[in-house]
Amino acid sequence: MGTHSVSQIKLQKRLRRLTGEAVADFKMIEHGDRVMVCLSGGKDSYTLLDVLLHLQKVAPIQFEIVAVNMDQKQPGFPEDVLPAYLKSLGVEYHIVEKDTYSLVKELIPEGKTTCSLCSRLRRGTLYTFADKIGATKMALGHHRDDIVETFFLNMFFNGTLKAMPPKLRSDDGRNVVIRPLAYCNEKDIQAYSDLQQFPIIPCNLCGSQENLQRQVVKDMLQDWDRKTPGRTESIFRSLQNVIPSQLADRNLYDFASLKIDESAASRFVDVLNL
C-alpha cells in the first residue's frame, strides 16, 4: 500500500483479519484446495482476490488461486481491463465468454429487474466451469451487508428465514461455494477499493434499476445504522445464534411432543413448613 496513513493500514489489517477469521471459522479453505475466485470487476471481488492472495502467502497451508471472470457480452464491456490487471498480478486466470446478456434482454420485459435471472445464468455457467478446471472451492465476494440484506429480502418477500451462508454446497454436490468476506462490512470494502484504485467495471446490463427491492432493503438498513450504530452487525450475529425452540418451524423443533416434565422439581415453596 506504499506510504499510507495509520487508519489506512488499520483498514487493510482489519479486512485481512476478518477474512482470516471467517475462513477459519467455517473451514472455507483447506490444504491442497484449488480456489476459483469469481471476479465481476466490482469492488467486492477485487477486494476478495487481494485479501486471498495475501492469505495465500501467510497461511500455514498451501492452496491455489485461479481468477475467473465471466464476459456476459454486455455492450461496451471493456474486455481488456481484467486481463491486464490479472497479468500485472501474475495470477492464473480465465475469461469465460457466454452471451447471457441477449438471453436476459429477450426474457425480461422492459422495465423489470434483471438481477435474478442474470445471477442464475451466471452461477450455472461458473459452477460448470469450476468443475471443468478442477476447482475445489468457488469464492464469491459477498460481504456481511449482502448477507443481512438477503436475510430481509427472503423474510419480506419469500416468507423464509434464510440468507447467504458463508459456505454452501451446491444442490448437485459438485461445488462448494465460499464467501470469505462474510465478516467484512461494505463500507470498509468500498474504502479499501478506493484506496487501492482497483479498475472498477460497472454493470451495464441492469443499469441503475432504482426500484430494486435489494436497494430498498439496503436503504432501510443504512437508515437503521445511522439511527442506531451497530444494528446491522447485531443482526448478522443473530444469524449465528439461532434458537429453533423460540421460532415456529415444526421441521426444526419437535413442538408436538412438548409436555410437562412430571419429574421436575416444583418451583413453589411450602410456606406452612417454613
Is it the case that residue 17 has pLDDT exceeding 70? yes
Cα radius of gyration (the chain): 23
Q: What confidence score (pLDDT) does residue 214 get?
A: 86
Residue 182: all three cell numbers together = 462474510
Helix (H, G, I), strand (E, B) or coil at 161: coil
Mean pLDDT of 131-160: 96
In angstroms, the Cα distances linking 252 to 110, 116, 211, 248, 259 are 41, 28, 35, 8, 17
DSSP state of 186: H
Q: Worst-scoring range by mean pLDDT, 62-66, 95-99, 157-161, 242-246?
A: 95-99
The pLDDT score that the predictor gives to residue 125 is 85
Measured distance CA(201)–CA(69) in Å, rounded: 12
Asked if residue 191 has pLDDT above 80, the reply is yes
Least confident of 70-79, 122-131, 207-216, 235-244: 207-216
**Strands of the 167-169 sheet, one edge to the other:** 92-97, 64-71, 34-39, 137-139, 176-178, 167-169
Q: At 56, phi and psi to the nearest 5?
A: -60, -35
If pLDDT is split at 50, 70 and 90, which confidence band does 208 have?
Answer: very low
Is residue 115 part of an annotated ligand binding site? yes
Work out the average pLDDT over 228-250: 96
| Percent of the chain topping pLDDT 70 | 85
Mean pLDDT of 156-175: 93
Q: Does 38 carry a binding-site annotation?
A: no
Residue partners of 121: CB distance under 8 A and separation at least 6: 98, 100, 103, 104
Contacts of 248 (CB under 8 A, 6+ apart): 255
pTM of the model: 0.88
Per-position b or e across 134-164, b if 16+ CB within 10 A of its CB: ebbbbbbbbbbbbbbbbbbbeeeeeeeeebb
- Tens digit of pLDDT for each residue in 74-131? 777 788 999 999 999 999 999 988 766 666 666 566 655 656 656 777 777 888 999 9
CATH 3.40.50.620 fits 6-251, yes or no: yes
